[in-house]
Structure 1
Amino acid sequence: MNIKDLYYFQRLISTQSYTQTAADFYVSQPTISQAIKRLERHFQTTLFFRQAKTKALVLTPSGQQLLLAANDIINHWQHVNESISHLRQHTLRLGIEPSVSEHYLPTITKPIIDQGLLKSVHTVEMGANQLVKQVLAGQLDLAISGNLDQTLDERLAVTPLRPFDFKILASPKHPLAQMDEPTFADALKSPFVILNATYLNKLVFRQLAEQLSIEPQILFESDSSTLISGLVREDLALGFVSDVTMLSHQEDLVELPIRGVQVPNVHINLIRRAHQFPIGLFKQVMDIVEQTFKDDAQS
């Protein structure tokens, strides 16, 4: 048995045709038949049978188990090939969430430049959910992403870098800023301006409102921190921000803690596929990222 036999088996079940499967791989039909026989001899079982009326290939329980395993093996094999190719080319694809990028990318980039790695590290920016999907699909090697703790996939190796701390941002003129220990329910009586779906803040904000069964008033969603701080400053809305995405030019605004709801655990994480071993360039970049966050926490 070899891995190509698994490829043939997977495609045969998908196409339901020996002829089509052979054509897809540019081999003869007997090659596909022999691969199936090798698999059945190896496992000493029948993997599928052909239904009399429809001629469909129907998996046996053993065949169902092998197909699930074949899907995983083939995915891992493709990821290994990609990883070795990048090691050979001395390249690494790093994804970073916009809110994290705004605060940390300049600090991360400096040691990458100092160590002569800039040409080898290709950085892209995208939302947290998309980052996780692309790491799992092998399209990214590493990602720095804000994640709800319960949303992380067991196929990922996760290094927590730092927690998020969420706050309400208000104008000093806003009634909320004059109250003693206002709750989140008090805040939801006013309209909010929040970061858009590219940022994790929106998901956390929605979860907090759902705890209170209150539909929040969203005045505006934006990826512009300047616009958000301007609307809050003019007392047109409250802002919902994290200490990672604290807005520029907000020294004259009031930060209020979140009270009366259970704030979900959210961390910035360094994520990779669990079977991806940190060696060479991979380990160099991981060390740079981890040291950047460690230095930031100590400053």
Structure 2
Amino acid sequence: MNLKWLEYYDKLVEEKNFSKVATFFGVSQPTITMAIKRLEESYQTHFFERDYRHKTLRLTASGENFHRHVKKILQELALAQTELVRLKARKIKFGLPPIIGTYLFPLLAPQLLQANLLNRMQPVEQGSQRLLSLVSTGSIDFAFIGILDEVKDPNLVVNYFANSTFKIIVSKNHPLAHRTQPLYFKDLASYPFIALTNSFTHNKAFSRLETINAIHPTRIFHTGDIQIVKKLVAQNVGISFITSIALRSDDDLVALDLADKGVPEFKIGLAYRESFPPAPALLDLITTFHPWNN
């Protein structure tokens, strides 16, 4: 079977017109017609019903079934080509979410440099959900991710190697800074929040707590810069909700635990396609490096 036949078939399903497909590929219409005929003969079925009077083309049930397989084959071949090009280039294109990039990746970078890997690595900075999509389509090789729920994509492998808790952060001058009783999410209903933008996993975790507790604290300001969040909280403009890996001893903040049951955890992992795993040495270095678990 000729691969071009499958490409012609896929385009014909989209266009429903032999002439348009021929023009798209720069071939004659009989070339397209013969390719489809040979495919139908190979499988002893008809993929299209032709209405010559109205000049229309309709996909049969067999045609729809075959097209699902054709799409998968073409996608896999395109992905294989991308992977082979990347292997030849010897560049490692990887995803780096903002918080992991700011607080965790710098701890790993010296080890990558020593292993002669850092100079080959090209970061793509996006939120974790967007990075998972890029890994799945082959746009990047792998991604560090920070998520709440385990990834269900059957084409992806995710190695989870650390968990981080979410904290409420307040100014040292805030009334909650001196609280001695357990703090529950419902206790925060009247306090204004400085929130991270929707690309952060934090918003999903916060929304879950809102739903569980049936309260919706006011979010007075949104930003994609966690340093701005911490500075505004330190100035007592509001309080916030962030993962503990983004906290440092010199932040001039007070971090409080939530006593609620079922507070989401920030799961940190490495996601890659099953068909294109990172080199074993790189994978081992990343998942066993001890500061991830601090």
Same fold (TM over 0.5): yes
Q: Is residue 64 of structure 1 aligned with residue 61 of structure 2?
A: no
SS of 1:145's equivalent in the other structure is strand
- CA-to-aligned-CA distance 1:221-266 (integer Å, 9 cap, x gap): 223334322332333321211122225633x432222233532354
Identity %: 29
d(CA) in 1 for partners of 2:166, 2:35? 57
Partner residue of 2:100? Answer: 100
Partner residue of 1:180? Answer: 181
Partner residue of 1:34? Answer: 34
Q: Is residue 245 of structure 1 aligned with residue 242 of structure 2?
A: no
- CA-to-aligned-CA distance 1:134-159 (integer Å, 9 cap, x gap): 11221111110112325542221111
Partner residue of 2:284? Answer: 287
TM-score (norm 1): 0.89
- What aligned pairs does 1:141-180 form with structure 2 within 5 A after superposition? 141-150=141-150, 152-177=152-177, 178-180=179-181
- What aligned pairs does 1:193-208 form with structure 2 within 5 A after superposition? 193-208=194-209
Q: Which runs of 5+ in 1 are unaligned?
A: none
d(CA) in 2 for partners of 1:229, 1:16? 56
Q: Is residue 296 of structure 1 aligned with residue 291 of structure 2?
A: yes
Q: CA deviation at 1:50?
A: 2.1
Q: CA deviation at 1:175?
A: 3.3
Contact 1:18–1:33, Cα closer than 8 Å, also in 2: yes
Contact 2:194–2:238, Cα closer than 8 Å, also in 1: yes
Contact 1:40–1:47, Cα closer than 8 Å, also in 2: yes
d(CA) in 1 for partners of 2:192, 2:161? 32
Contact 1:225–1:247, Cα closer than 8 Å, also in 2: no
Bigger drift between 45-54 and 73-82 goes to 45-54
Q: Which runs of 5+ in 2 are unaligned?
A: none
Q: Say how many residue pairs are matched.
A: 293
User: CA 1:53 to 1:219, structure 2 compared with 1: closer, same or farther past 3 Å?
Assistant: farther
d(CA) in 2 for partners of 1:54, 1:248? 75
d(CA) in 2 for partners of 1:25, 1:228? 53
User: CA 1:121 to 1:3, structure 2 compared with 1: closer, same or farther past 3 Å?
Assistant: same
User: CA 1:298 to 1:193, structure 2 compared with 1: closer, same or farther past 3 Å?
Assistant: closer
> Considering only aligned residues, what root-mean-square deviation do their CA atoms show, in Å?
2.2
Partner residue of 2:16? Answer: 16
